[in-house]
Amino acid sequence: MRGPHNIFRLIRTGATLERTGAMTFVMNAFEAPPLVRIVIRCLMWPFQWLGYKGDPDMGPTTRALNALGPAYIKFGQILSTRPDVVGTDLASQLRVLQDQLPPFPREVAKAEIERELEISVDETFSEFSEPVAAASIAQVHRARLAETGEDVAVKVLRPGIERAFRRDIDAFYFAARVIEFLSPASRRLHPIDVVTHFEGVVLGELDLRLESSAASEFASNTARDEGFRLPSILWNLSARRVMTQTWADGTRFGDVAALEAAGHDTRRLAARVLELFLLHALRDGMFHADMHHGNLKVAPNGDIIAYDFGIMGHIDEYTRRVYAQILFGFIRRDYRRVAEVHFEAGYVPADRDVDEFARALRAVGEPIFGMDASRISMGRLLAYLFEVTERFGMETRTELILLQRTMVVVEGVARSLDPHMNIWEVAQPVVEEYIKKSLGPTALAKDLTRTAEVLARFGPKLPHIAEAALIRQSTPSKPTSHPVSWPWAALGGAVVMAAGVLIGAGL
């Protein structure tokens, strides 16, 4: 029910932030102006008794988000990778949200597994540990198969998690509608569409069968990627609320000291994780969209191991080419071309000035080049980029939300390993290789071949399609003076089909 009753939920959100002391951290992190601070504190202070108390052993912000529920925790996970946006103190607090949340009892997990898989946990596993990781949606247990002795990871959804997420998403929809009503200027950002997109992603994450399928597809796509591997899915021990996969030993990506002590090159790991993200997004159109520290390990041999495939991103070939050209333009510092691509793709209204937009993009890109990454304020950069999008009437592209969000997360992960990394220098070889393969003569030939194949496949129907179109255009009072006879239309279809076959054979 997406109605006014959600006002109470939103008030409770602010009250929880105030009661736990998180409001101060949040306003400091985002550099809220004094007037905004005063107004928010005056509004929230009388209602703080409505807020959740949370776990007093946690830091203020993690305490608040954990008390508010899984949707808020997801938001905190994203911010935890951006110390350059929210500050080091807040990012450190939020990092425990990745996989160090309070677990639910092992016996509850075993009961969930037995109910879902219709097996006896004690007979199937010779060992079944206490939770080794607990996140917002599920927790993981290490177990050993009784039959083979193989170590596996068993992921179990939190009891009642579906209901909790729907409650939060319900409140988000209400907030989005209020924002659109009170601020017409915000409508270009499509806040309701953004929430709808988030809802689809989250609901997919709540079905572990979909995660198992995504993991299998992702493994097929990346089987030949050097220095990257994934755990394997055990399908016979996986279902909607339970997923079992092979155990992956390694050092956690967020433990920089342990990685250095193990002799790993953290600078190379930082570059490689960004390269892999771009490679998967551009080459395959499918990428791991939740690549925070908690979902990455480094194997003893230096391989990057990814897991937790509940959120996977998908982008079509056309969008990939647009995205690659935008990145390529920034890398080459060809801001005019970047602006043209935005106009060609319809991201910027056609009535705006392309040269002015190119100058605005230059102000975004130039501070990045020739400057040590540790000196770049991503917070200020994102703030200016938002100003640019508002000034030129750019609308939110929901198909790019997950891609953009993941890019922010991955860059944050990489910079935690190498604060001096320049993302453009790392991205250049990957983007150039994709541009070469997707926009060159070979790519054009493949596009023509695919087009011809489609025309050939629909060749028998083309005469009927053409005839139906002509009939719709004609009227009883003014019949077509030169009707196209069926034989001629059929011949046209045959010619198109034959051309398709010849082009396909020739290419």
Residue 209: closest CA among 178, 238, 233, 229:
238
Q: Measured between alpha carbons, how far is 421 from 272 in angstroms, rounded to an integer?
A: 11
In whole angstroms, what is the distance from residue 367 CA to residue 426 CA? Answer: 17
Return d(Cα 140, Cα 352) in angstroms, integer. Answer: 51
Would you give the DSSP letter of residue 417? H
β-pairing, 151-157 with 242-246?
antiparallel
Our answer to whether residue 355 is catalytic in this structure is: no
Q: Do the bridges between strand 286-288 and strand 312-314 make them parallel or antiparallel, or are there none, so unpaired?
A: antiparallel
Q: CA nearest 134: which of 95, 162, 101, 93?
A: 101
Rg, C-alpha atoms of the chain: 27
Quote the DSSP letter at residue 139: E
Distance CA 235, CA 212 (A): 8
Residue 497's region, left for phi above 0, alpha for psi from -120 to 50, else beta, is: alpha
Instruction: For the chain, report the end-to-end CA distance as a whole number of angstroms.
Output: 55
User: Which one-letter DSSP state was computed for residue 233?
Assistant: B
- Neighbouring C-beta atoms of residue 478, cutoff 10 Å: 7
Cα distance between residue 416 and residue 294, in whole Å: 13
User: Which pair of tokens denotes residue 386?
Assistant: 């938002």
Sign of CA dihedral 98, 100, 104, 109: positive
Q: Are 428 and 329 in contact (CB under 8 A)?
A: no
| 424, 369 Cβ separation under 8 angstroms | yes
| Active-site pick, 99, 225, 290, 308 | 290
- Nearest Cα to 96, choosing from 45, 133, 62? 62
For helices 208-221 and 191-205, the axis angle rounded to 10 degrees is 90
The rounded distance, in Å, linking the Cα atoms of 499 and 358 is 42
Q: 3-state DSSP: the chain helix, strand, coil percent, rounded to 5?
A: 65, 10, 25
Cβ of 437: how many Cβ atoms within 10 Å? 14
DSSP classification of residue 187? G
- CA–CA gap between residue 403 and residue 506 (Å, rounded): 37
Catalytic sites, residue numbers: 290
